[in-house]
Structure 1
Amino acid sequence: MIDLRRLKVLRAVAHYGTITSAAKVLHFTTSAASQQIRQLGRELGVTLLEPHGRRVRLTPAARSLLAHADAIEARWEQAEIDLRASGDDPAGTVRLCGIPTAVAMLLAPIVAPLREQHPRLSIRIQEVEQQAGFDLLFGGEADLAIIEANPANPPAGDPRFDQRPLVDDPLDLVVHGDHRFADRQAISLVEARHEDWVLQSVTCTCRQHTLAACGAAGFTPNVVHNALEWNAIAHLIANGLGVALVPRLAHLPPHLPLVRLPLVEPTGPTRKLLTCTRAGGHENPAVAAVLTELHTRAEHGVTVTAA
Structure 2
Amino acid sequence: MIDLRRLHVLRAVAHYGTVTAAARALHFTPSAASQQIRQLARDLDVELLEPQGRGVRLTPAAESLLAHADAIQARWEQAELDLRADHGEPAGPLRVSGFPVAVSVLLAPMAVRLRERHPRLAVRIQEALVPGSFDLLFEGETDLAVVEATPHNPPLSDTRFDQQPLLEDPFDLVVPEGHPLDGRDRVDLADAAYEAWIAPVRESPCRAQVMSACGEAGFSPDVVHHARDWNVTAHLVAHRLGVALVPRLAQLPPHLPIARVRCTGNPHRTLLTCTRRGGRSRPAVLAALEELRKLAPTAVS
Query: How high is the TM-score relative to the length of structure 1?
Result: 0.96
> Which string of whole-angstrom CA distances, capped at 9 and with x for unpartnered residues, describes residues 116-167 of structure 1?
1000110111111110000000000000000111111111111100000100
Aligned partner of 2:117: which letter? Q
Aligned partner of 1:225: which letter? H
Task: Trace 1:220-235 onto structure 2 (pairs within 5 A).
Answer: 220-235=220-235
Q: Matched residues in 1 for 2:80 and 2:269: separation? A: 34
Deviation at 1:184, TM superposition (A): 1.2
RMSD after superposition: 1.0
Q: Matched residues in 2 for 1:279 and 1:259: separation? A: 42
C-alpha change, 1:257 and 1:243, in structure 2 (3 Å) is same
Q: Matched residues in 2 for 1:157 and 1:209: separation? A: 22
> Which string of whole-angstrom CA distances, capped at 9 and with x for unpartnered residues, describes residues 8-47 of structure 1?
1000100011101111111111001101101111111110
Deviation at 1:88, TM superposition (A): 5.1
Q: Matched residues in 2 for 1:77 and 1:4: separation? A: 14
> Which string of whole-angstrom CA distances, capped at 9 and with x for unpartnered residues, describes residues 57-113 of structure 1?
000000000011111111111000111111152111100001111111111111221
Q: Matched residues in 2 for 1:181 and 1:223: separation? A: 19
Q: 2:290 aligns with which of 289, 292, 305?
A: 292
SS at match of 2:263: coil
Task: Trace 1:102-181 onto structure 2 (pairs within 5 A).
Answer: 102-181=102-181
> Is 1:212 equivalent to 2:212 in the alignment?
yes
Q: 1:272 aligns with which of 247, 270, 273?
A: 270
Q: Matched residues in 2 for 1:96 and 1:36: separation? A: 30
C-alpha change, 1:166 and 1:303, in structure 2 (3 Å) is closer
Task: Trace 1:1-307 onto structure 2 (pairs within 5 A).
Answer: 1-87=1-87, 89-265=89-265, 268-299=266-297, 301-302=298-299
Question: Which stretch shifts more, 285-294 or 199-208?
Answer: 199-208
SS at match of 1:281: coil
Q: Matched residues in 2 for 1:207 and 1:151: separation? A: 12
CA contact (8 A) 2:92 2:122 kept: yes
SS at match of 1:164: strand
Aligned partner of 1:291: which letter? L
Q: Matched residues in 1 for 2:284 and 2:88: separation? A: 11
Q: Matched residues in 2 for 1:209 and 1:88: separation? A: 40
C-alpha change, 1:41 and 1:88, in structure 2 (3 Å) is closer
% identical aligned pairs: 60
Deviation at 1:213, TM superposition (A): 1.4
Aligned partner of 1:13: which letter? V
SS at match of 1:259: strand
CA contact (8 A) 2:170 2:300 kept: no
CA contact (8 A) 2:88 2:283 kept: no
Aligned length: 301
Aligned partner of 2:272: which letter? L
Flag structure 1 segments of 5+ consecutive residues without an equivalent: none
Aligned partner of 1:293: which letter? E
CA contact (8 A) 2:238 2:257 kept: yes
Aligned partner of 2:292: which letter? L
> Which string of whole-angstrom CA distances, capped at 9 and with x for unpartnered residues, describes residues 205-244 of structure 1?
2221111111111111111111111111010001111000
List structure 1 runs of 4+ shifted beyond 3 angstroms.
Answer: none
SS at match of 1:113: helix
